[in-house]
Amino acid sequence: MNEKASNQTVLIALTGGIESTVAAYLLKKQGYRCIGIGLQFFEPGENPGPFGDVIVSDLTKIKSICTYLDIPFYAVNASEMFADIVLDPVVGRVLSGHTFEPMVFLNYVLMEVLLEKAKKFNTNLVATGHYAKVLKNQKTGSFELMTANDLEHDQSYILSRLEQKHLASLILPLSEIRKKEVEKIGELIKVEYLKRPKGNVPHIMRDPRMKELIEERSPKDLRRTGTIYDYRNESSICEHQGIHLYYVGQNNLPAKPEIQLDPLKQVVSIIPFKGNIFIDYPDRLKYSHALVTKFLPAANLDITLPIAAYAKIGVKSEKIPCRIYFKNNQTCLIEFENERPGLLVPGTFMAFYNRQGEKGKVLGSAIVEVAGVFANEQFNTLPVYRKDSDEEEEQNANDERLTF
């Protein structure tokens, strides 16, 4: 038994899944006095929509796990904070034609609640079952978020919005363990785990159940109806029943039975105040630069000079070589090493690392404001098509030309 641990209490967030249960099991084995915390993110009777796959809907399962582990259990209602930090921004982003990364901010809520409750138990230690590492820099005394040993299941991306106050208190028992080992330990714990969807599950923001969530949490006049246009020739195709039914990057678009939309085209832009949706073939979509805001740097990061980094644009995405140019008011210009295909939608969450592989450190995180390519001294978010060989067509009102 760890003598230091035996004198300390740690609050651990339990989800009913195998990871958080194994984390609690290991902490107890190390001698910590564990207290299991189950968070309720929705009020009883509320429709969780696509969040039903990632939150705890049955706290009795968590209570039974705590009973098996012989640790106290407390349920905490975090629905108000969750609505403020996650649900309201989700609705706002959808209605503005942008995107959002709910899991990043869900974990921010989780840590805020854990730290608040820890004070009542006279401790500053909290724990989760995430695959990531927190290391203390012995020179500076600050805490650094690192990638887990199991890179395939690393979750540092969704923890990259945590602040020093969170990292200083956070214990991650699975940081050195691979998922296969966690599953083997989990087999020794004779409890019934909550099942989570597996396989090709869509991103929460693209889940079909998002439609109902938005409709329940927004006035009808903000869910603008309007017209679907062909972006290339500006011709109208058909009417649509609400911008909340579409997202940038979407294909297999819903339309009236008498209208046949080209299945190879996708949504490239949404103009919410007009209710206009533009579709195009994705072959010419690309970006080389992005303007990001709300940049949260790692402790002691030197932001006086540009730095080389690797950008991660999703939980399962690769780390992309880039350069960060720091500007004022938490704003940065990101220059990617190579031009990238596709669109980088406003609202996309980005985490930045110092390396691609093992022992990677999170350098910071930010939110995409706009992205595109420079051409003819202009910054274009969407392709510029020509009317004829001599005259270049002006961009639609939804396109942006910026000078950085």
Inter-residue contact 101 to 349 (CB < 8 Å): yes
Report the pLDDT value the prediction gives residue 259, as an integer from 0 to 100: 74
Of 123-132, 158-167, 192-201, 389-398, the least confident = 389-398
Q: How many CA atoms lie within 13 A of 202 on its CB side?
A: 12
Q: Are strands 362-375 and 378-380 parallel, antiparallel or unpaired?
A: antiparallel
Report the pLDDT value the prediction gives residue 395, as an integer from 0 to 100: 45
Q: What is the mean pLDDT of the chain?
A: 91
* Cα angle 117-104-344, degrees, rounded to a multiple of 5: 165
Inter-residue contact 229 to 242 (CB < 8 Å): no
Q: Could you tell me how far CA 352 lies from the centroid of its own chain?
A: 13
> Which helix (H) or strand (E) element contains residue 64?
helix 59-69
**How far is it, in rounded angstroms, from Cα 297 to Cα 390?**
46
In 3D space, the residue among 129, 134, 132, 165 whose CA is nearest the CA of residue 150 turns out to be 132
Higher pLDDT, 167 or 59: 167
Where do the domains of the chain lie?
3-188, 224-282, 285-380
Residue 172's φ and ψ, nearest 5 degrees, are -120, 90
The tokens describing 257, both together, are 């039975």
**How far is it, in rounded angstroms, from Cα 5 to Cα 32?**
5
**How far is it, in rounded angstroms, from Cα 69 to Cα 180?**
21
Give tens-digit pLDDT for 52-67. Answer: 988 887 799 999 999 9
Report the pLDDT value the prediction gives residue 391, as an integer from 0 to 100: 39
**How far is it, in rounded angstroms, from Cα 96 to Cα 217?**
14
Report the pLDDT value the prediction gives residue 252, as an integer from 0 to 100: 79
Report the pLDDT value the prediction gives residue 258, as an integer from 0 to 100: 63
Inter-residue contact 354 to 156 (CB < 8 Å): no
Which overall architecture, per CATH, does domain 285-380 show?
Answer: Beta Barrel (2.40)
Kindly tell me if the per-residue pLDDT of 369 is higher than 50.
Answer: yes
The tokens describing 395, both together, are 């961009």
Inter-residue contact 317 to 101 (CB < 8 Å): no
Inter-residue contact 194 to 16 (CB < 8 Å): yes
Kindly tell me if the per-residue pLDDT of 385 is higher than 90.
Answer: no
State which amino acid sits at residue 319. K
Give tens-digit pLDDT for 65-117. Answer: 999 999 999 999 999 999 999 999 999 999 999 999 999 999 999 999 999 99
Report the pLDDT value the prediction gives residue 375, as an integer from 0 to 100: 80
pLDDT band for position 15 (50/70/90)? very high
Inter-residue contact 243 to 226 (CB < 8 Å): yes
Q: Could you tell me how far CA 154 lies from the centroid of its own chain?
A: 14
The tokens describing 219, both together, are 């006035």
Kindly tell me if the per-residue pLDDT of 160 is higher than 70.
Answer: yes
The tokens describing 233, both together, are 């020739």
State which amino acid sits at residue 116. E
* Cα angle 45-48-50, degrees, rounded to a multiple of 5: 155
Look up residue 206 and give its DSSP letter: G
pLDDT band for position 33 (50/70/90)? very high
Q: Could you tell me how far CA 48 lies from the centroid of its own chain?
A: 17
Question: CATH top-level class for 3-188?
Answer: alpha beta
Residues 6+ apart with CB under 8 A from 369: 290, 291, 292, 293, 331, 346
Question: What mean pLDDT do residues 254-269 have?
Answer: 79
In the structure, how many helices (H) and strands (E) does the chain have? 10, 18
Inter-residue contact 286 to 279 (CB < 8 Å): no
Of 32-41, 298-307, 372-381, the least confident = 372-381
Look up residue 394 and give its DSSP letter: P
- Rg (the chain; Cα; Å): 23
Report the pLDDT value the prediction gives residue 401, as an integer from 0 to 100: 45
Give tens-digit pLDDT for 271-283. Answer: 999 999 999 999 9
Of 189-203, 289-303, 314-328, 357-371, the least confident = 189-203
Report the pLDDT value the prediction gives residue 357, as an integer from 0 to 100: 87
Question: Burial of 260 by CB count in 10 Å (0-12 exposed, 13-18 middle, 19+ buried)?
Answer: exposed
State which amino acid sits at residue 372. G
Percent of the chain with pLDDT over 90: 80
